[in-house]
Chains A and B, each alone.
Chain A
């Protein structure tokens, strides 16, 4: 495979980030402002992508929704990375019954139907971004834990770890200074693929009405409104989906590129 200096997925991702965060500097329209005289209107100078079923500017809502979706997905992925590294690291490092227990726990967590767990929790505790982030993070660390465990279990017996142990360095220092840097390739791949997963989960939950709550925009809940006016204004259903797809494609693509580059096949 050809190796470009800057991979295409990374470029695409940078464009999406710029769209969500720098876009509002060029397009200064309030994403939540209702204009009932302009419901589901076609594109114009004031509203380049038209307005939605409540007369709100679609372009401004795509930007605002992107900020919410990307922020939720990024923080949720960070939660998953920390959990996965802790569980996998501990299991691989300690071995024995700790390993057995933690890996059975991981297996059990993998069998949990994420959507139904999220459904129950979000309906019981109300949908707030921290809970949404917690649920997505707490249901996506298992793959990372398995990868980290396998890597740490091998590294534990390597010469440089033995040497640090012989020098009397505490386990935590060995983990931070010697093991963690070795895990960086795995974790970067897991992070980019994880963001794609988190975006898909967040948008699906928001579409169902259990994620980001209106009037705050997210790419998922924009599609809920769009489906209701599918027969009158089908164009509203296009853009939010395209944004989600571009994000997941670029994140998964970046993950693939990073994996090829590091020569690691997980």
Chain B
């Protein structure tokens, strides 16, 4: 199959998934009891209530609302935020760069730690490094990340006064790169911990299973040096599946980002979603859900394409 045909098929699949997500969110929104928090005000009279309903478009019959919701969606209009009185789509998009900065840094750090340690442990399974790292990753995966974040704030901000407790920048110092980096350290440390532990386990298992594959003794019999065997025959085959694992981690990464952002008052999309959920700001909840769905679908399509690019076997069918 040509690369273009594959890409089109994946794109159509992705759009289908997004349509399922928008339909599901629409149905759920209308199954939910009550409505926008602003209608819960007992002082509202029937006239004011009807006016608010007409303004929000929730007085139309359901099929009309369903069509209108998708028509508006295609035009990039996700409704007005109940809480902020701003367009929901733009409100969410404005927070995306902060989340990308946090999640991207965390993923990068995770890879930089997990890959070398995973290779090291996998090349000598059962050895001291492997056993120690097994214990560390086990503990890391048992740790509640939000509590870990609170403890870090306690040590480094409340007691140590070494790092800021939250936010992206000190007011007045927004242009300082060092100040921004200082704000990034604790959130990245929190978000990357469980992801590092998961990635480490996959890398280690990948190395162990490829090391036992028959082409490794064959390369050894050919007289290649151990260095060459590791570099050309082991790592190339063992590290490729990491791309898939990154795709599997994507939901965990965005979910973890929401928790981390809340702990550190980081003005990202996740914290916006949490606040919207607490304030029953449905348009913003829906816009965040949609943004997350687009991100997860998009990441998986890109990774599939990268996989085909790196692994020539997948291009033949």
Contacts and interface: CB of A to CB of B under 8 A. Distances in A.
Chain A partners chain B: yes
A112 B144 CA distance: 20
Given A113-B252, A245-B143, A248-B143, 20 more contacts: A110-B251, A113-B250, A113-B254, A114-B255, A115-B255, A116-B258, A119-B288, A120-B28, A120-B277, A123-B285, A125-B32, A204-B259, A208-B258, A208-B259, A209-B274, A230-B150, A230-B153, A248-B142, A252-B142, A256-B138
A182 B84 CA distance: 56
The A interface is mostly helix, strand or loop, or mixed, namely helix
Contact of B142 (A111, A204, A237, A249): A249
Q: Which 8 A-B pairs have the closest CB atoms?
A: A115-B255, A241-B147, A123-B277, A124-B32, A113-B251, A248-B142, A119-B277, A244-B144
B144 A124 contact: no
B276 interface: yes
B158 A245 contact: no
A244 B252 CA distance: 19
Interface in B254-313: 254-256, 258-259, 262-263, 270, 273-274, 276-278, 280, 282, 285-286, 288-289, 292, 296, 300
B150 A245 contact: no
A207 B262 CA distance: 10
A237 B146 contact: no
A240 interface: yes
B151 interface: yes
B251 A227 contact: no
A143 to B, nearest CB: 11
B150 A241 contact: yes
A210 to B, nearest CB: 6
Contacts of B165: 230
B14 to A, nearest CB: 11
A125 B278 CA distance: 11
A68 to B, nearest CB: 15
A186 interface: no
Contact of A231 (B158, B277, B280): B158
Interface string B15-41: 001000000010011011100000000
B287 to A, nearest CB: 11
* Residue from A110, A116, A126, A248 having most chain B Cβ neighbours under 10 A: A116
Contacts of B274: 119, 208-210
Contacts of A252: 138, 141-142
B110 interface: no
Interface of A: 108, 110-117, 119-126, 196, 200, 203-204, 207-210, 223, 226-227, 230-231, 234, 237, 240-241, 244-245, 248-249, 252, 256
A228 B248 CA distance: 34
B80 interface: no
* Residue from B25, B144, B150, B259 having most chain A Cβ neighbours under 10 A: B144
The B interface is mostly helix, strand or loop, or mixed, namely helix
A207 B149 CA distance: 12
Nearest to B248: A110
A234 B28 contact: no
B314 interface: no
A248 B273 contact: no
Contacts of B196: none
B263 A227 contact: yes
Nearest to B21: A112
A33 B254 CA distance: 38
B99 interface: no
12 contacts: A111-B250, A111-B251, A111-B300, A112-B251, A115-B259, A116-B258, A120-B286, A125-B32, A203-B147, A231-B158, A244-B144, A249-B142
B254 A245 contact: no
A132 to B, nearest CB: 13
A238 B296 CA distance: 35
A256 B159 CA distance: 37
B145 interface: yes
